[in-house]
A and B are shown apart, each in its own frame.
Chain A
């Protein structure tokens, strides 16, 4: 693991060199440690595939660089802890996406084969980003890896299940998007209405970093 400063108030720790389940296990260890024993002055943290950002309150930690080495040791120890498996969340999908047929054709497969390959694995939520609650899911069968569309669609509707490069994901709000759409889920992955109107509420987000996802065909 190594670290680098990211401006005057944040540190970026690199806990793995490559994306994968090993990196995710380390990420989960670190996140669990930060939630159970947050370092003094930690404002927020953002985990990604191989890195995690820690942002500090400059009134409490005026020079994050000075606590970085000590933190690195703590996070390294946490990264090595074995955690119980993360919850599995089932997501129903109708495989009726606009790009499904073209994708199957380009790969010399039937639509049926694409659907089977996509719904077979147990995926990991490597990180959330792009839009509120949007899950970056791996590990996608290499036979389904597909580059993003040459020009993004101006509007992809919420609930669209899509493939972008080596990942699959679910659009959480109507937004522009360049991933290949293969299906739709009737579930709301991000639902502002589920939140408490006057306070933070994680219930808005169906999936959390580290969760596992099983697509169920409908």
Chain B
């Protein structure tokens, strides 16, 4: 076990440990999981010279409060929740300091990384918490977080601070078009429906979580074909019988029987993940 580094004073609506996810267990019904916004989580780790896929704390929206149990370097990235530490750059905090995320301004998922990476129980090769599947559990008040002791981060002398380049950040409130590939059931949909999918702006629904993001707009005409359940990849855009797209996210089902019009490109799964309910998104086909 590593050194105690933080105590959870308030977990907020859903704080978990997430890394790069688990590979090779989907045939047993276990989704890959991992950081919803892999891009932000990897940057938080990179700032501290951790492995990009090291476990980081993933915090939902706002309200979380943590207390430092020792002096350490940290990095906060992802959603803007008015943190009392600077984001997208390394920060030094002292024993007894609090790190708080009082109010969400943009984005959905916040990442907190610590020098050395957080320590977590690895199940099926990953420390990612998949609460619904009983692989780990969400943080509760009083939980103590530990860090791996193998690595030590030293900010090079004379450098003001490590910062993530502006070009690597993105406006979570008005995202660029999200890029998609053709899905396995592309041909089941008529040309008019496909056109409608790409021409309209879709709104992220409040019914969105680590399993899937629902989109509202003018519904598509669902394909009438009865499908035999088949494997489903993260990023798949399913069109269920109500015609409202459901994008399969990192804790989503491994098999399913709804037609899949498109597959969101892996990089853009991270961008969609940061779109709060009400945010408008468009899709663009990768030819």
Contacts and interface: CB of A to CB of B under 8 A. Distances in A.
B97 interface: no
B255 A130 contact: yes
Given A51-B231, A201-B124, A45 B132 contact: no
A128 B29 contact: yes
Given A198-B122, A204-B124, A133 B181 contact: no
Interface in B93-152: 121-125, 132-135
B241 interface: no
Nearest to B234: A7
Contacts of A127: 229, 255
Interface string A92-136: 000000000000000000000000000000000001111111101
A43 B133 CA distance: 22
Contacts of B159: none
Contacts of A128: 27-29, 254
Contact of A46 (B26, B121, B125): B26
Choose among B29, B133, B182, B183 the residue with the greatest number of A CB atoms under 10 Å from its CB: B29
Contacts of B233: 6-7, 10, 53, 55
Nearest to B183: A6
Contact of A129 (B184, B228, B254): B254
A49 B256 CA distance: 11
Nearest to A205: B28
B133 A4 contact: no
A29 to B, nearest CB: 15
Nearest to B124: A200
Contacts of B14: none
B263 interface: yes
B135 A46 contact: no
Contacts of A133: 28-29
Interface residues of A, number: 46
Interface residues of B, number: 34
Interface in A18-52: 19, 43-52
A86 to B, nearest CB: 15
A44 B132 contact: no
Contact of A43 (B24, B124, B253, B254): B24
B23 interface: yes
B28 A50 contact: no
B30 interface: yes
A10 B25 CA distance: 16
B263 A192 contact: no
Given A7-B263, A44-B24, A49-B228, A132 B133 contact: yes
B254 A6 contact: no
Given A43-B23, A127-B229, A130-B253, A195 B124 contact: yes
Contacts of B124: 195, 200-201, 204
A199 interface: yes
Nearest to A8: B181
A93 B265 CA distance: 44
Interface in A45-71: 45-53, 55
Contacts of B27: 44-47, 128, 209
A173 B25 CA distance: 16
A84 interface: no
A192 B135 contact: yes
Interface of A: 4-10, 12, 19, 43-53, 55, 127-134, 136, 172-173, 175, 190, 192, 195, 197-202, 204-205, 208-209
Given A128-B254, A190-B134, 12 more contacts: A8-B181, A8-B265, A10-B233, A48-B231, A129-B253, A129-B256, A130-B29, A132-B29, A136-B229, A173-B132, A197-B123, A199-B122
17 contacts: A6-B183, A19-B228, A43-B24, A44-B25, A46-B255, A47-B231, A48-B230, A49-B229, A53-B230, A53-B233, A129-B29, A130-B255, A132-B134, A175-B132, A195-B124, A197-B123, A199-B122
Which 6 pairs between the two chains have the least Cβ-Cβ distance?
A: A129-B255, A53-B231, A46-B231, A7-B263, A128-B29, A51-B230
